[in-house]
Structure 1
Amino acid sequence: MKTIIIGGGKIGYNLLRTLKERGYEVTLIERDKEICMKIAEDYNADVIWGDGTKLEVLKDAGIEDAEIIAAVTGTDEENLVICQIAKLSFHTKKTIARVNNPKNTIMFKTLGIDNTVCSTEVIAGLIEYSFDKEDYRIINTFERGSMILAELSINEHNSWCNRKVKDLVLPSECVLVSILRGEKVIYPRGDTCILSDDKVVIITNKSILSIIVTELYDGGNKRWTLSKMK
């Protein structure tokens, strides 16, 4: 799988290193000559000195054969132009753009960019969901915080303790992913029983997580049961 990275800053540099270590075919484009020389000295990789918004530069990088374009420069406008050129002129299968201003994320997706990565948004989301709780923790967030991967610690006072997965009353917006029991990872089935000291990993959204946490640690799951009966 051939990948072209445009932008040789910290993100582009580390992305190149990671992909090369994993055995991928990677070419990097950077407009700063000194940065290009440094990267070329550090890694045995194809590094092109040029403007990633120019067709001839992209062609020199082998964009016709590339499956993925990752535009990670420090300018949103430049990243958008690069991805649009890749999509419209070369029909690249997948485009990934770095978005520096979170307000531009929706625009990028509307204009057909396959994936966007906004470090500002990711960090803000991690801060927002960094609950200082012993009972649960946020492992990661996805889709600008709309999806949350969380770990819930179970004790003997929780409503889920000593209950089978099939007997739990969960909202449709919550999926039980795994159970961590000591060093063991359990992929739960209906008959799997949740025990004290287990850690239950779920995927859900912000509002549902808040309700689950309240019910799990502050009074059982009566609220879900009542909502199911109505």
Structure 2
Amino acid sequence: MKAIIVGGGKVGYYLVKTLNEKGMEITLIEKDPLTAQRISEELNIEVQCGDGSDIDVLNDAGIQKVELVAAVTGSDEENLVVCQIAKASFNVAKTIARINNPKNIEMFKALGVDKTVCSTEVIADLIEYEVDNDSVRIVQTFEMGSMVLAEVHIQPTSKWIDLPIKAINLPLDCVVVSIVRNGKVIYPRGDSMLLLNDEVLVVTDKESMQTLRKSVCKG
């Protein structure tokens, strides 16, 4: 997944660091040249020095190729403008804005910002959930975020293809709840086969998501 983060302060720095460690392709936009250079050198990521609310700067940062923009500066107004430009001018699929004044939450939503959040940890989780892995993606979370409903797409390279459910290597706390095949729902049994292009819905705890991905994906 490709994303642009606007704002290289404390929140932006640790957000970029966290997402970079998760293997996401991140470009940071930061106004201050010294801060931009320091973060680029420390984290070895692409940093564009400039104003994230400037269309030319966003173009130079490659906004046409990203799926998500997160504006996390210390200014609610600037974060709103960045998200509005990303959505209106570049049709970015998802926008996330840091807000410092909770009174702005409803206004941001009304003005088209997809998500409004107030902490680095929550922003990182939201972006992680937006990652639409070719094989596994999170559909919904529940139980205060500790449990996950995930969708596994059976591709030609999947470890699960042409295997019965009882033969796949599921994480301990993972349960297959249904198989969708050609638009029809199949309620699985141990001997139910998993075929190419099946969509398999599973419930697992959040901590097991990485194990689930490794179970499904080769390499």
Coarse TM-score class (shorter-chain normalised): 0.5 to 0.7
Residue matched to 1:75: 75
Distance in 1 between residues matched to 2:22 and 2:118, nearest whole Å:
24
Q: TM-score, normalised to structure 1's length?
A: 0.53
- What is the percent sequence identity of the aligned residues? 57
Say which SS state the counterpart of residue 149 (structure 1) adopts.
coil
Structure 1 segments of 4+ aligned residues over 2 angstroms from their partners: 147-151, 184-187
Distance in 2 between residues matched to 1:52 and 1:186, nearest whole Å:
41
Distance in 2 between residues matched to 1:101 and 1:95, nearest whole Å:
18
Q: Encode CA deviations 1:21-64: one digit per residue, 9 max, x unaligned.
A: 11111100000111111101101110011000100000000001
**CA offset at residue 185 of structure 1?**
5.8
Unaligned segments of structure 1, at least 5 residues:
123-146, 152-183, 190-230
Check if 1:93 corresponds to 2:93: yes
Unaligned segments of structure 2, at least 5 residues:
123-141, 147-171, 178-219
Residue matched to 1:112: 112
Distance in 2 between residues matched to 1:45 and 1:16, nearest whole Å:
9
Residue matched to 2:144: 149
Distance in 2 between residues matched to 1:66 and 1:46, nearest whole Å:
14
Aligned length: 136
* RMSD between superposed Cα atoms in Å: 2.9
Residue matched to 1:19: 19
Distance in 2 between residues matched to 1:105 and 1:56, nearest whole Å:
28
User: Which amino acid in structure 2 is aligned with residue 58 of structure 1?
Assistant: L
User: Which amino acid in structure 2 is aligned with residue 50 of structure 1?
Assistant: G
For 1:3-42, what aligned pairs fall within 5 Å after superposition? 3-42=3-42
Distance in 2 between residues matched to 1:40 and 1:89, nearest whole Å:
27
Residue matched to 1:163: none
For 1:123-134, what aligned pairs fall within 5 Å after superposition? none
Q: TM-score, normalised to structure 2's length?
A: 0.56
Distance in 1 between residues matched to 2:10 and 2:67, nearest whole Å:
23
Q: Which has the higher contact order (CA 8 A, sep 6+)?
A: 2
Distance in 2 between residues matched to 1:112 and 1:36, nearest whole Å:
29
**CA offset at residue 149 of structure 1?**
3.0
